[in-house]
Structure 1
Amino acid sequence: MTAAMLKLENRAVLRLSGSETKTFLQGLVTNDVMKVTADAALYAGLLTPQGKFLFDMMIVADGDDLLLDIEAERKPDLMRRLMMYKLRADVTIADETDLSVWVSFAKPSCGGVAYQDPRHEGLGWRLITSKTPDDTTLSAAKYEAKRLTLGVPDGGRDMEVEKYFWLETDAERLNGVSFTKGCFVGQELTARMKHRTTLKKKLVAVKAEGGSLTPGQTLLTPDGKNAGEIRTTDGTHAIAYFRLEFGDTSLNADGVPVHLA
């Protein structure tokens, strides 16, 4: 039985090859690239030196190469950033325009590089391939509803570039950071937030009751205090950038009751 699949039009693929590919990425991104295999993808971020979000990606092995599953809209910016860091390292960065990213809630049986979503098992499988799968009936609305219900951010749609600290994106829960791998860009600030401070804001899943949410709405407490902002939403479920001090407070968005999911 074939798996119903959905093409993620907002994703693109880069291929990194060369003898120093893993060590090159290891010194840049937030997760332990040495653990990447053909069967185990990693979720990671590339941050500013101040520990703030620049790019996120999924990294999976394809033979000796690494494939980066990234935001299509910001692909040129990421390529420029990687080239800036590459210097003389034996790494080739190629834009794989013939490859697409697909998702499914069941393991794909068609050819390509398939891997479980490393952020949350509930998001199923991803497939990088140049071919169109036999069954393309998975609806975008169904997949988006699952993502929002699980509280999984979708790149720059939910994470403001150079504004949110990596741990504010809920990256630790989503398996997007290693605190034992050693240095990476923004590592010092990320480790300090983990061990020495308490997070005040974070991306969380919220749900509306009896009304509809829209991106950009402000979450308010009963006395009118700003408790956060709605990011992506399907109307009922949403990702919100939330002030954690209001976790036990009644919330609303333009009068619509909202609670943490």
Structure 2
Amino acid sequence: MELNYTTKLKNKRVISVIGDESQSFLNNIITNDVKKIKFEKAIYSCLLSPQGKVVNHFFVTKIQRQFLIIIDHFLVKDFIDKLNFYKLRSKINIKVENEFDVLFTLNNELKFNSLVKFEDPRIKNFGRYVIVNKNNESKNIFKNEEIYYQNIDTKCLIDNIFNNIKGLYFSLELNMRELHAIDFSKGCFVGQENTARMNIKNKISKRAFLLNKNTNIKINEDLFFENEIIGKVISNTPAFAMIKMLNFDKFFNKKIKTSSNIEVSILKPDWM
């Protein structure tokens, strides 16, 4: 991406959680610790199923006593339904903030009339997110949004494939530990038991990786190395696969094949 790249993320939404018990409420259900949020900082976090599989992922930041959750639009309804399910009698208010836009920029010199801004907490120097009042910024500064999502894919982040894999995989299989989405010392969260057990015993049998091509690759195709199944395609645009970790070094950087005999390679991001 160009150094002055800026775009509006049209599919991002902002949800606010406010109230006397908002901090304890969020900390009891999501994987990361909201107490770590500081001025113009954010955390990356997940909401898991009771079994420990990822059903939502998002950023959380804060303005004074109001938590702001930045999440993809197709996850909003399900996420709010789950928050209300866990809410019980907690003294909190949950609201979709439709008057906000979410921007992404690499331009540190650009000045915004922003409510809050923060660096992407997943990967160092990836870029900065800015929450502004809707239609409050000049459209002339915005460049093609697809460039942002192409870079998301290049960095092996799951944003563009999550609609296909929601609720299917454990957080450690989706590299959430390496992406700083889990705090194992903060106490309980939904799905903690299986997550902690996998982490302590280092029992991660497979993990998500980007493949070097997507042409003619089919979802659910097996991947082979020397006639042994070493993974399965979970997305074809972009091409991601769930790869077995047993003997990973044996076939990483080697040509592997799909069930339909297409040669592919596993791409390992620099943060892993």
The verdict on a shared fold, with TM-score over 0.5 as the criterion, is yes
Cα deviation for residue 231 of structure 1 reads 2.3
Q: For residues 164-194 of structure 1, what are the alpha-carbon distances to aligned partners after superposition, in whole Å with 9 as ceiling and x for unaligned?
A: 0111110011010001101111111111000
- Quick one: which amino acid aligns to residue 233 of structure 2? E
Contact kept? 2:223, 2:229, Cα under 8 Å? yes
Matched, 1:161 2:163: no
Aligned to 1:184: 189
The whole-number CA distance in structure 2 between the counterparts of 1:4 and 1:149 is 17
- The structure 1 residue matched to 2:111, chosen from 99, 102, 109, is 109
Distance 1:53 1:127, change over 3 A: same
Would you say 1:195 and 2:200 are equivalent positions? yes
Candidates 233, 251, 256, aligned match of 2:263: 256
Matched-pair contact (CA < 8 Å) for 1:229–1:241: yes
Paired amino acid for 1:116: E
2:8–2:142 Cα contact (<8 Å) kept: no
Q: Deviations 1:138-161 (Å, cap 9, x if unpaired)?
A: 323322232122111117626622
Cα RMSD (Å):
2.4
Structure 1: where are the runs of 5+ without partners? none
- Pairing of 1:36-115 with structure 2 (within 5 A): 36-107=37-108, 108-112=110-114, 113-115=116-118
Deviation at 1:69, TM superposition (A): 0.4
| 3-state DSSP of counterpart to 1:74 | helix
Report if aligned partners of 1:20, 1:89 keep a CA contact under 8 Å in 2. yes
Q: Which stretch shows the higher mean deviation, 121-130 or 57-66?
A: 121-130
Amino acid at match of 1:111: N
Choose 211-220 or 32-41, whichever is displaced more.
211-220
Letter in 2 for 1:109: K
Sort the Cα spacing of 1:80 and 1:99 in 2 relative to 1 into closer, same or farther, 3 A. same
Residue 212 (str. 1) matches residue 215 (str. 2):
yes
Q: Distance in 1 between matches of 2:222 and 2:40?
A: 40
Q: Is the CA contact 1:114–1:126 (under 8 Å) kept in the aligned structure 2?
A: yes
Q: Number of aligned pairs?
A: 255
Residues of 2 paired with 1:141 and 1:252: CA distance? Answer: 29
Structure 2: runs of 5+ lacking an equivalent: none
* Contact kept in structure 2, 1:218 and 1:226, CA below 8 Å: no
From 224, 227, 231, the equivalent of 2:231 is 227
Query: Do 1:119 and 1:152's aligned partners in 2 also have CA atoms closer than 8 Å?
Result: no
Letter in 1 for 2:82: R
